[in-house]
A and B are shown apart, each in its own frame.
Chain A
Amino acid sequence: MVIKTLAKSIREYKTSSILTPVFIALEVIIECMIPWLTAEMVGAIEAEIAVGGDAGLSIILKYGLWLVLLAALSLTCGALSAHFCAIASCGFAKNLRHDLYASVQSFSFSNMDKFSTSSLVTRLTTDVTNVQMAYMMIIRTAVRGPLMIAVALSMAIAISPKMSLAFAIIVPFLAIGLFFIIRNAHPIFKSVFKKYDRLNESVQENVHGIRVVKAYVREEHEKEKFATASDEVTKDFTRAEKIMALNNPLMQFCFNAIMLIICFFGTRLVVSSNGTELAIPEISALLTYGAQILMSLMMVSFIIVMIVISAASAQRIAEVLNEQSAITTPASPVTEVSDGSIIFKNVSFRYSEKAERASLSDINLYIASGETVGILGGTGSGKTSLIQLISRLYDVTEGSVLVGGVDVREYDLEVLRNQVSVVLQKNLLFAGTIKDNLRWGDPNASDEEMVRICKLAQADEFVSRFPDGYDTYIEQGGANVSGGQKQRLCIARALLKKPKILILDDSTSAVDTKTDALIRKAFAEEIPDTTKIIIAQRVSSVEHADKIVVLDGGCIESVGTHEELLVKSPIYREVYESQTKGGDAE
């Protein structure tokens, strides 16, 4: 299942993937012929010397040429296989990354909630690298190892069936030994890697939270915590590595055992049969095959470990590839948003089927095109959930949301989202110039257009004060601009889309009240036809809206203008008073 999913990403690298094992097989076969042919040559020369003939040189030349030819062929095959292997494995990894990335691009918000950001990053990086390594092993080493064992073994049997019995004893012994080592060490490794991840997590926490650590003078406390975790990891790793350390002596024992058996019994066989059953040069050929077989066995065991380790990575990659996007464009979509009106009809929503409590329930709301609507409510009252339904970032659980009179589920997603521009609460700028960032809203925006929009969002004033102006480089995550500046740039970016509906999800929280007011004023004057939905904590941000929606616990508590709500909504009144107390005293 997992393999099938991943195999889809091989695509254009199929040829290379097939050529790699083909050439490796050729290399193995040729390589195995060399010791045998060498033994033949030495035997022939010896025989020639024994009979006192003078054809020795021509024998050497004949065999020698063949041998050199074989070695050259083997080298060519080996190099070719290496070449194709690099192409196939790196290409496969590239395709995997591409497919993973594409899969993530198709994710809806609810898909994204399922995978954490860091886990997606790991899948795209470490996991792909692991699979790439495993793939390289599978098409190259995994073919070479067993084939080498098979060919070398048959060559050995061809030379002397009796002596090959030595392999019959040692090879299973080594196989069992390796199996035992892997069986015992692998589970420990598996668990220790989890602990290792946690250790790294704690480092990450510390790097991010260094201010808190320092402010509370908890350096020693953190050091102790880290030391405990690190000791734990060390303990388990040592346990596993101790088992793995048996590998070396075991291999050596087997090599030596083969050596001893061949030396002793070989000598006896040669002498007692007078060289008929086994010739002297054939002993060295047998030893060469013995080394090749054992080495290959070792290689195979190593591959098995690698593949087992990367199986987890493959599994994690397949999870992402197999994830079906929860939200897709319907078969024959509506491609035109007629106006910016919004209707919520009996809408209920929960983030997942398992969620105990609905995030929104029984929402009925009409927003006319061009209206300015404020949304107010406490933490967790469902403000963000409500607006995310409008651009179909999530689908409603019950009821329907209509934009421009059409159910959002009938629109082409791109059309809908281009017309409904959302400035998210957790907003981000990307590494690149300010212009680059603004162009997210409109890739073809002219410089004048950008300046105009930035003036609207009250961003031009500080951008033009930067030495590089609109070409100022924004660092990853917008680290080099302040929170308020970032928010204003994000608003400008959203405005550049020229949407029919603009939604600001608490997007001016870090902007001072004066600038906040200027932004709202500009909205009212410059884009009167755009429906504007503003989520805010400050009453002042929504006070002048055509309509204010007060949310409480996922339900609409009341809707109305500022004046109406002061009368009929106790929550609104309370919030208003808490923010203006003292101001009234004036």
Chain B
Amino acid sequence: MKPEKQMKKRRPPMDKGVLGRLLKMLFRDYKWTLVVVTVCVAIVAFASTVASIFMNKYLLLMEEALKTGGGWASIRDEVIANVLLMVVIYAFGWIASFLYTRLMAILTQKFLNRTRKKMFAKMQTLPLRYFDTHHHGDVMSYYTNDIDTLRELVSRCLPQFLNSGLIIVLLVYNMLRLSLWMTLVIALGVVGMTFVTKIIGGNSARYFLKQQKSIAKTEGFVEEMMHGQKVVKVFCHEAQSQKEFDEVNEQLCADATKANRFANILMPIMGNIGNILYVLIAFVGGVLVMMNAPNISITGQAMTFAVVLPFLGMARQFTNNVSQLSQQMNSIVMAMAGAKRIFELLDEEPEVDDGYVTLVNAKEVDGEIVECAERTGLWAWKHPHGDGSVTYTRLRGDVRIEGMDFGYVPEKTVLKNVTLYAEPGQKVAFVGATGAGKTTITNLINRFYDIDDGKIRYDGININKIKKADLRRSLGVVLQDTNLFTGTVMENIRYGKLDATDEECIAAAKLAHADDFITRLPDGYQTMLSAGGSNLSQGQRQLLSIARAAVADPPVMILDEATSSIDTRTEALVQKGMDALMKGRTVFVIAHRLSTVRNSDVIMVLEQGEIIERGSHQKLIEEKGKYYQLYTGAFELE
């Protein structure tokens, strides 16, 4: 609940400005393309409204020819001249139409590509807290649904909106050229249409929002149940599960029916108001012509059928475009919701990193540590000071935590006054019940979260001063949840060190005892892992993630239940390799299996966020405290 509140506070006030922001973004990046597009759309709009002007002309010519009895010959030249003029205008229209649709297609894709990349880049900078407080499915939908609505908006809605708007303006002018009275008839129709659109459109939007919510609910339900389907089976819960699904499903159907009914009805109603308007024009026009009513128009023409007939076409065009506008309105509203969410992501506060101590390659010259460009295997912390001087501290892997307090949320402290020293090369183990705060400590060392009170020093430097990237680069982490990436086995191992050679990767795999099963895979190291590495067993995935950490070769390692899914025999084998790897490195180990932690230099027993016992295995056993209970409890209970 809490994080949500925080989110709201951080959200900039832009609910209304979303469209403006979007347009600004578009105009900033694609100014000239958009200018050309606008001009082209204007040309297209013009070309598609000239018909009525020419119609009027032909009708006048025809009436004249029929009246004077001059026949085709008397008007032929003028008709041909007009037709040719039309062809020229239309040709411009075709070219403009071709140009703008093509430009828009390219622009849309470029824009989407840029936005996607921006979103992804932003996402990479967000603190872990963000991922803790947001559903992964929600984050995903930024890239799917929301991007889709943006595409719809930019590629279709905006140009069509502009086009329809311009056509309407031009049509009004054309109508006034011919007759004010007839224009008023159409205006009347439009008022009716707007009225209907408002009622139906408003309802439709409301129901669409409801439908959207229902869809989200159904998807959430389906997602959860599909993941738990095996549990459903085991508990014979199929009927119950079906019943619950049907409830959600019925609700979705009801909402969808309402939403779609309104949306579907809008089209025939608009179309038929168009029809009625068509009839009305003929009707009123007929009456006016018959009564020889005086006409008010820009061209000053008298009220004849040469005036009335073009209105039939114009009425159709007019109503079509008005309904286009209203439909685009709907899409724009939908797209704005998507754009708003995307902007929310882009506006998230990134992980702050005000560290200035960096990790550099170094070499020793006359006992002094000197920075150098090439990889020497020796690393040093480069520490610039306020007075402009720079000191270099050798990277050793000395971690000291003093009086540290921490809570994920302010009101609940997870760690209380934790103090510990880990000297270079030491293996420090954390033991304790689930929820005692073991993982939290490691999350704080690599600054996934910031501590509330106390200090963590790394090689004597407060870790708040160290650049996060450099801090993390010096720490290898193997987590219980091994996240592998789509790609080959080799690529996944290389993730630990991007410039590692194949030989290095294989050596690391051998160290982790992963080589054995990898070589038995159909394509060995080139076997493609599907999303999440689901074609490997959990134990195999853990071996791979150990290899991944091994290839990174960091001075400090954090193993958080890294071998929990590996059977103890294999673990014993891995352990040998790990021991070799760990020589001279500081290691933090978290494990449930006490056999995993037994040979640590120091074992910390945690209870409810506090270290209650510390010492070597031998010492703790002799103390006969909590550790002793845990250790012997496994063998001597009953």
A578 & B282 in contact (Cβ 8 Å cutoff): no
Q: Chain A residues with Cβ under 8 A from B495's Cβ? A: 212, 216, 218
B633 & A517 in contact (Cβ 8 Å cutoff): yes
Tell me the residues in window 309-323 of chain B with beta carbons closer than 8 Å to chain A beta carbons: 309-310, 312-313, 316
Interface-central residue, A105, A205, A378, by most chain B CB under 10 Å = A105
B62 & A270 in contact (Cβ 8 Å cutoff): yes
With A247-B101, A267-B58 as contacts: A424 and B568 at CB distance below 8 Å: no
- From B260, B472, B566, A86 is in contact (CB under 8 Å) with B260
Apart from A101-B222, A217-B473, A267-B61, what are 7 other A-B pairs with CB-CB below 8 Å? A38-B282, A38-B312, A86-B264, A245-B102, A245-B104, A263-B55, A516-B634
A78 & B272 in contact (Cβ 8 Å cutoff): yes
- Interface membership of A226, Cβ < 8 A: yes
CA distance A198 to B59 in the complex (A): 60
Interface-central residue, A49, A231, A485, A537, by most chain B CB under 10 Å = A537
A484 & B242 in contact (Cβ 8 Å cutoff): no
- Interface membership of B19, Cβ < 8 A: no
CA distance A564 to B263 in the complex (A): 76
A238 & B105 in contact (Cβ 8 Å cutoff): yes
Which one of B273-281, B379-387, B390-398, B458-466 is at the interface?
B273-281
Can you sample 20 A-B contacts with CB below 8 Å?
A64-B286, A78-B269, A79-B268, A206-B123, A216-B472, A223-B120, A230-B120, A245-B104, A249-B97, A256-B90, A263-B83, A268-B79, A284-B55, A484-B434, A509-B592, A513-B630, A514-B633, A538-B593, A544-B638, A578-B569
With A38-B282, A121-B223, A210-B128 as contacts: A418 and B272 at CB distance below 8 Å: no
Q: Chain A residues with Cβ under 8 A from B265's Cβ? A: 78-79, 82-83
With A67-B282, A234-B112, A428-B231 as contacts: A249 and B101 at CB distance below 8 Å: yes
A476 & B224 in contact (Cβ 8 Å cutoff): yes
Interface residues on A, range: 35 or more
B407 shortest CB reach to chain A, Å:
15
CA distance A509 to B246 in the complex (A): 36
Interface-central residue, A42, A74, A199, A266, by most chain B CB under 10 Å = A42
CA distance A417 to B71 in the complex (A): 94
Tell me the residues in window 209-247 of chain A with beta carbons closer than 8 Å to chain B beta carbons: 209-219, 221-223, 226-227, 230-231, 233-234, 237-238, 241-242, 244-247
Q: Chain A residues with Cβ under 8 A from B540's Cβ? A: 379
- Interface membership of A574, Cβ < 8 A: yes
Tell me the residues in window 119-135 of chain B with beta carbons closer than 8 Å to chain A beta carbons: 120-121, 123-125, 128, 131
B278 & A38 in contact (Cβ 8 Å cutoff): yes
Interface residues on B, range: 35 or more
Q: Chain A residues with Cβ under 8 A from B256's Cβ? A: 86, 90, 93
Smallest CB gap from B482: residue in A: A212
Tell me the residues in window 244-277 of chain B with beta carbons closer than 8 Å to chain A beta carbons: 245-246, 249-250, 252-253, 256-258, 260-261, 263-265, 267-269, 271-273, 275-276
A117 & B229 in contact (Cβ 8 Å cutoff): yes
- Interface membership of B421, Cβ < 8 A: no
- From A45, A246, A422, A482, B435 is in contact (CB under 8 Å) with A482
Smallest CB gap from B636: residue in A: A517
- Interface membership of B54, Cβ < 8 A: yes
- Interface membership of B110, Cβ < 8 A: yes
Q: Chain A residues with Cβ under 8 A from B257's Cβ? A: 86-87, 90-91
Smallest CB gap from B54: residue in A: A263
Q: Chain B residues with Cβ under 8 A from A538's Cβ? A: 568, 593, 634
* A-contact bits for B63-99, CB 8 A (1 contact / 0 none): 1011000011001100110010011001001110110
- Interface membership of A413, Cβ < 8 A: yes
A252 shortest CB reach to chain B, Å:
5
- From B93, B143, B310, A252 is in contact (CB under 8 Å) with B93
- From A56, A201, A482, A514, B531 is in contact (CB under 8 Å) with A201
Q: Chain B residues with Cβ under 8 A from A263's Cβ? A: 54-55, 58, 83, 86
CA distance A393 to B87 in the complex (A): 74
A241 & B65 in contact (Cβ 8 Å cutoff): no
- Interface membership of B113, Cβ < 8 A: yes
CA distance A441 to B220 in the complex (A): 23
Which one of A106-114, A342-350, A399-407, A444-452 is at the interface?
A106-114
A424 & B106 in contact (Cβ 8 Å cutoff): no
Q: Chain A residues with Cβ under 8 A from B86's Cβ? A: 256, 259-260, 263
B120 & A203 in contact (Cβ 8 Å cutoff): yes
B128 & A200 in contact (Cβ 8 Å cutoff): no
A205 & B233 in contact (Cβ 8 Å cutoff): no
* B-contact bits for A254-266, CB 8 A (1 contact / 0 none): 0110011001101
Q: Chain A residues with Cβ under 8 A from B565's Cβ? A: 379, 509
Interface-central residue, A116, A267, A272, A426, by most chain B CB under 10 Å = A267
B567 & A245 in contact (Cβ 8 Å cutoff): no
- Interface membership of B32, Cβ < 8 A: no
- Interface membership of B589, Cβ < 8 A: no
A56 & B290 in contact (Cβ 8 Å cutoff): yes
- Interface membership of A68, Cβ < 8 A: yes
- Interface membership of A124, Cβ < 8 A: yes
Tell me the residues in window 68-91 of chain A with beta carbons closer than 8 Å to chain B beta carbons: 68, 70-72, 74-75, 77-79, 81-83, 85-87, 89-91
B contact patch SS? helix
Tell me the residues in window 34-57 of chain B with beta carbons closer than 8 Å to chain A beta carbons: 44, 47-48, 51, 54-55
A484 & B433 in contact (Cβ 8 Å cutoff): yes
- From A112, A288, A543, A581, B313 is in contact (CB under 8 Å) with A288
Which one of A274-282, A305-313, A332-340, A553-561 is at the interface?
A274-282
Smallest CB gap from B563: residue in A: A537
B469 & A57 in contact (Cβ 8 Å cutoff): no
With A215-B446, A482-B435 as contacts: A67 and B94 at CB distance below 8 Å: no
Report how many A-B pairs have Cβ atoms within 8 Å.
480
- Interface membership of B580, Cβ < 8 A: no
Interface-central residue, A68, A97, A200, by most chain B CB under 10 Å = A97
- From B93, B104, B279, B637, A514 is in contact (CB under 8 Å) with B637
CA distance A571 to B570 in the complex (A): 12
With A78-B271, A105-B242, A379-B537 as contacts: A586 and B621 at CB distance below 8 Å: yes
Smallest CB gap from B245: residue in A: A101
A42 & B434 in contact (Cβ 8 Å cutoff): no
- Interface membership of A460, Cβ < 8 A: no
- Interface membership of B376, Cβ < 8 A: no
CA distance A71 to B269 in the complex (A): 10
- Interface membership of B539, Cβ < 8 A: yes
- Interface membership of B226, Cβ < 8 A: yes
Q: Chain B residues with Cβ under 8 A from A226's Cβ? A: 116-117, 120
- Interface membership of A322, Cβ < 8 A: no
A557 shortest CB reach to chain B, Å:
12
CA distance A274 to B121 in the complex (A): 73
* B-contact bits for A533-571, CB 8 A (1 contact / 0 none): 000011110011000000000000000000000000001
A110 shortest CB reach to chain B, Å:
11
A242 & B630 in contact (Cβ 8 Å cutoff): no
- From A60, A83, A249, B98 is in contact (CB under 8 Å) with A249
Chain A to chain B: the 5 pairs with minimum beta-carbon distance, closest first: A78-B268, A209-B483, A82-B264, A484-B434, A75-B272
CA distance A513 to B233 in the complex (A): 30
B496 & A216 in contact (Cβ 8 Å cutoff): yes
B46 shortest CB reach to chain A, Å:
12
B485 shortest CB reach to chain A, Å:
5
- Interface membership of A528, Cβ < 8 A: no
B13 shortest CB reach to chain A, Å:
28
- Interface membership of A471, Cβ < 8 A: no
B105 & A241 in contact (Cβ 8 Å cutoff): yes
Q: Chain B residues with Cβ under 8 A from A219's Cβ? A: 124-125, 469
Q: Chain A residues with Cβ under 8 A from B97's Cβ? A: 248-249, 252
Smallest CB gap from B127: residue in A: A214
CA distance A217 to B359 in the complex (A): 13
Q: Chain B residues with Cβ under 8 A from A267's Cβ? A: 58, 61-62, 75, 79
CA distance A198 to B528 in the complex (A): 14
With A213-B124, A217-B473 as contacts: A379 and B227 at CB distance below 8 Å: no
With A34-B275, A211-B479, A267-B62 as contacts: A85 and B55 at CB distance below 8 Å: no
